[in-house]
């Protein structure tokens, strides 16, 4: 049996070291994927919880539900009712903006963003008059404001 030289041992050690490094990198990549999935799930759960709290308001406060019906029927709202409805819908706007910002930060999956954006944009544009949007626009992120502006423009506002 031939004995191995120090150079051959060094070569085998290098190959073994590379295998260990590759396995370590694969484990790190897997860990990052799991952490990213967990982060996306946590953000999505947070959005569902906040949205549930907003919807719960409609159940426990029938007067808010009545205001939604009036707004959808294009009925005149009193000054107080207008303010209540504006603030109620502003909560939705802030949730929508939060999803947008989290997407831009890489904390929200693009697939989930598409679902939330579709839901928020259809509900928001039908309930939040453009005149209210012009009041609220300066209170949100500029990129998000441009996104909402484009949606109002598509809707002919």
Give residue 70's Cα distance to chain centre.
29
The C-alpha angle with vertex 37 and arms to 36 and 40, in degrees rounded to 5, equals 85
Q: Supply the pLDDT for residue 48.
A: 80
Structure letter (DSSP) for residue 105:
T
- Are 99 and 117 spatial neighbours (Cβ–Cβ below 8 Å)? yes
- Token pair of 14 as six digits: 């290098």
Residues 38-68 have pLDDT tens digits of 877 787 787 788 888 878 887 888 888 898 8
- The SS3 call for residue 156 is coil
Give the whole-angstrom CA distance, residue 129 versus residue 114.
23
Dihedral sign, Cα of residue 32, residue 33, residue 34, residue 39: positive
- Location of structure tokens 């694969």: 26
Q: Supply the pLDDT for residue 153.
A: 94
The C-alpha angle with vertex 63 and arms to 58 and 66, in degrees rounded to 5, equals 85
pLDDT at 71 over 90: no
Q: Supply the pLDDT for residue 65.
A: 86
Q: Supply the pLDDT for residue 78.
A: 93
- Token pair of 98 as six digits: 């939060």
- Which of 96, 94, 71 lies closest to 82, judged by CA? 71
Residues 83-126 have pLDDT tens digits of 999 998 998 899 999 999 989 988 888 888 998 899 889 888 88
Q: Which pTM does this prediction carry?
A: 0.71
- Which of 127, 125, 116, 123 lies closest to 151, judged by CA? 125
> Residue 152 — pLDDT band, cuts 50, 70, 90?
very high
Residues 115-151 have pLDDT tens digits of 889 988 988 888 899 999 999 999 999 999 999 999 9
- Which of 145, 35, 157, 59 lies closest to 96, judged by CA? 145
Q: Supply the pLDDT for residue 1.
A: 59
């Amino acid at each position: 049996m031939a004995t191995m030289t120090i150079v051959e041992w060094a070569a085998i050690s290098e190959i073994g070291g590379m295998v260990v490094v590759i396995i370590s990198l694969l484990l790190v990549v897997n860990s990052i994927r799991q952490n990213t999935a967990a982060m996306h799930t946590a953000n999505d759960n947070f959005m569902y919880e906040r949205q549930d709290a907003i919807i719960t308001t409609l159940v426990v406060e029938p007067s808010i539900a009545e205001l939604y019906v009036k707004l959808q029927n294009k009925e005149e709202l009193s000054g107080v009712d207008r303010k209540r409805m504006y603030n109620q819908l502003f909560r939705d706007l802030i949730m929508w903006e939060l999803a947008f910002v989290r997407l831009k930060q890489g904390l929200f999956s693009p697939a989930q963003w598409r679902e939330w954006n579709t839901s928020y944009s259809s509900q928001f544009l039908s309930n939040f008059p453009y005149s209210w949007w012009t009041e609220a626009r300066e209170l949100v992120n500029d990129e998000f404001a441009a996104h909402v502006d484009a949606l109002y423009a598509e809707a002919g506002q």
